């Protein structure tokens, strides 16, 4: 990835969001068929996979700049935004850890056309503990091919993606985990069901079965699969966290609009001190979330700019990215909790946008590692080894 830090807020994304998402929240909440017209438009205007290098058809925008891009888009619809940036998890792994030929071919195909790639990691029994992965791969006798079998639980974009990147274990050596690139149209890849999610319904998440799915051995990424995944998760977790900024900003602005026209005790709500205290706290929440996401983005940009795959692999999950996810998950839920009270009875009807924002907000803290998992990982990686404490 060539990291280009855009100096200005990428106004093209803001414009896209206003023109294509702002009025579509209710429609996007319907969990419509994918690909969405908005996704097609996103690719048409050249914004899809914006983080890819120019050589692959992207805009080469780095993570620090992506934080505000995601915040601006999630302000209007978190589901669409999530579906749009999640391929970064796959492309990062492919760019860093795939055979150069595979990387070039895959990234070019994705970038030019705005296509998607999906990650198949979670499984029902394993829960959030990826070491319990039951999907296997088996090498062919001549060593040229790999055959995968398993069932993957939550895989966003899996149906429309050109490629899946699948976490599997060596059938002969359970301690060997690998990420493997699988073209979506490989025989044996079967969409089992699309989940009807509580929120982020502008994205599409699937359960996927892999039955004797065979790919060339070159499609295996180098490096321990769980570590490789951790490297990619640094990016996706940071951007998931950034969705929380957008949700909180939206709740703040809805609150302020409401406070202009609502009377409490005969006075406009925006003059009420208790309301002011809530909104002052909300602004502090927005600021600290954004600061943490930007810091994580910056650390990732610097890490990846140093090139190579050894350093990212060695570091694995970054403290800054884990904390961004944990923190924004907690804070976004707090903001949503307060927000869902501000609008009174009217806010408890489906006519009001706050209900969807609360549902979307819940996702930040749940996806890609809930709070318990994240805290335990922070403890194991960054507290127990005294030398890694800050």
| Binding piece for a second copy, criterion CB under 8 A, among 22-30, 33-41, 219-227, 247-255 | 247-255
Q: Is 266 in the site for a second copy (CB under 8 A)?
A: yes
Residue 102 or 158: the one with the smaller Cβ distance to a second copy is: 158
* 134 secondary structure, DSSP code: -
Q: Is 385 in the site for a second copy (CB under 8 A)?
A: no
Question: What does the chain come to in residues?
Answer: 390
| Binding piece for a second copy, criterion CB under 8 A, among 107-115, 223-231, 234-242, 261-269 | 261-269
Q: Is 30 in the site for a second copy (CB under 8 A)?
A: no
Position among 195, 209, 217, 222 found at the interface with a second copy (CB under 8 A): 195
Residue 56 or 154: the one with the smaller Cβ distance to a second copy is: 154
User: Around Cβ 127, how many Cβ atoms within 10 Å?
Assistant: 12
Residue 166 or 200: the one with the smaller Cβ distance to a second copy is: 200
Burial environment of residue 149 by CB neighbours within 10 A (0 to 12, 13 to 18, 19 or more): middle
Return the axis-axis angle of helices 87-97 and 78-85, rounded to nearest 10°: 10
Position among 33, 37, 190, 379 found at the interface with a second copy (CB under 8 A): 379
Interface of this chain with a second copy, residues 335 to 364, rule: CB under 8 A: 337, 340-341, 344-351, 355, 358-359, 362-363
Q: Going by C-beta distance under 8 Å and a sequence separation of 6 or more, which residues neighbour residue 3?
A: 60, 62, 63, 301, 304, 305
Q: Is 35 in the site for a second copy (CB under 8 A)?
A: no
Can you read off the two tokens belonging to residue 25? 């929240």
Q: Considering only CA atoms, which of 264, 21, 227 is closest in space to residue 131?
A: 227
d(C-alpha 206, C-alpha 193), whole Å: 6
d(C-alpha 234, C-alpha 226), whole Å: 12
Residue 5 or 108: the one with the smaller Cβ distance to a second copy is: 5
| Binding piece for a second copy, criterion CB under 8 A, among 75-83, 111-119, 223-231, 376-384 | 376-384
d(C-alpha 341, C-alpha 354), whole Å: 9
Q: Is 127 in the site for a second copy (CB under 8 A)?
A: yes
Q: Is 7 in the site for a second copy (CB under 8 A)?
A: no
Using an 8 Å Cβ cutoff, are 67 and 245 in contact? Answer: yes
d(C-alpha 21, C-alpha 360), whole Å: 15
Q: Is 13 in the site for a second copy (CB under 8 A)?
A: no
Position among 284, 302, 306, 307 found at the interface with a second copy (CB under 8 A): 284
Q: Is 23 in the site for a second copy (CB under 8 A)?
A: no
E strand or H helix that includes residue 73:
helix 63-76
Position among 33, 55, 172, 287 found at the interface with a second copy (CB under 8 A): 287
Q: Is 375 in the site for a second copy (CB under 8 A)?
A: yes
d(C-alpha 30, C-alpha 35), whole Å: 13
The vertex-309 CA angle with 307 and 314, nearest 5°, equals 115
Position among 26, 30, 125, 212 found at the interface with a second copy (CB under 8 A): 125
Interface of this chain with a second copy, residues 308 to 337, rule: CB under 8 A: 319-320, 322-323, 326-327, 333, 337
Q: Is 9 in the site for a second copy (CB under 8 A)?
A: no
């Amino acid at each position: 990835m060539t990291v280009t830090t855009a100096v200005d807020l990428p106004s093209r994304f803001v414009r896209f969001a206003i023109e294509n998402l702002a009025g579509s929240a209710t429609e996007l909440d319907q969990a419509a068929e994918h690909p969405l017209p908005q996704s097609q438009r996103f690719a048409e205007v050249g914004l899809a996979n914006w983080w890819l290098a120019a050589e692959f058809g992207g805009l080469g925008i780095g993570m620090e700049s992506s934080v505000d891009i995601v915040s601006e888009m999630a302000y209007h619809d978190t589901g669409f935004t999530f579906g749009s940036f999640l391929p970064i998890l796959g492309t990062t792994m492919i760019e860093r850890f795939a055979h150069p030929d595979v990387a070039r071919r895959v990234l070019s195909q994705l970038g030019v056309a705005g296509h998607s790639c999906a990650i198949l990691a979670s499984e029902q029994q394993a829960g959030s503990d990826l070491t319990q992965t039951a999907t296997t791969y088996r090498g062919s006798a001549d060593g040229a091919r790999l055959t995968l079998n398993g069932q993957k639980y939550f895989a966003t974009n899996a149906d429309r993606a050109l490629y899946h990147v699948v976490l599997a274990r060596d059938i002969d050596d359970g301690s060997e985990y690998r990420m493997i690139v699988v073209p979506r149209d490989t025989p044996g890849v079967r969409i089992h069901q699309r989940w009807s999610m509580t929120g982020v319904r502008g994205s599409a998440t699937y359960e996927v079965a892999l039955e004797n799915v065979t790919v060339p051995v070159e499609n295996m990424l180098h490096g321990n699969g769980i570590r490789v995944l951790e490297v990619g998760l640094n990016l996706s977790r940071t951007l998931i966290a950034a969705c929380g900024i957008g949700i909180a900003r939206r709740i703040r602005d809805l609150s302020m609009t409401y406070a202009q026209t609502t009377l409490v005790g005969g006075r406009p709500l925006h003059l009420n001190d208790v309301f002011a205290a809530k909104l002052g706290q909300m602004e502090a929440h927005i600021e600290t979330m954004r600061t943490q996401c930007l810091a994580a983005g910056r650390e990732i940009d610097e890490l990846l700019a140093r090139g190579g795959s050894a350093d990212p692999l060695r570091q694995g999950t970054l403290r800054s990215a884990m904390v961004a996810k944990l923190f924004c998950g907690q804070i976004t839920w707090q903001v949503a909790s307060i927000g869902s009270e501000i609008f009174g009875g009217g806010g408890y009807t489906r006519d009001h946008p706050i209900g969807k924002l609360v549902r979307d907000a819940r996702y930040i803290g749940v996806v890609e590692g809930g709070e318990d998992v994240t805290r335990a990982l922070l403890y194991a990686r960054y507290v127990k080894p005294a030398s890694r404490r800050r």
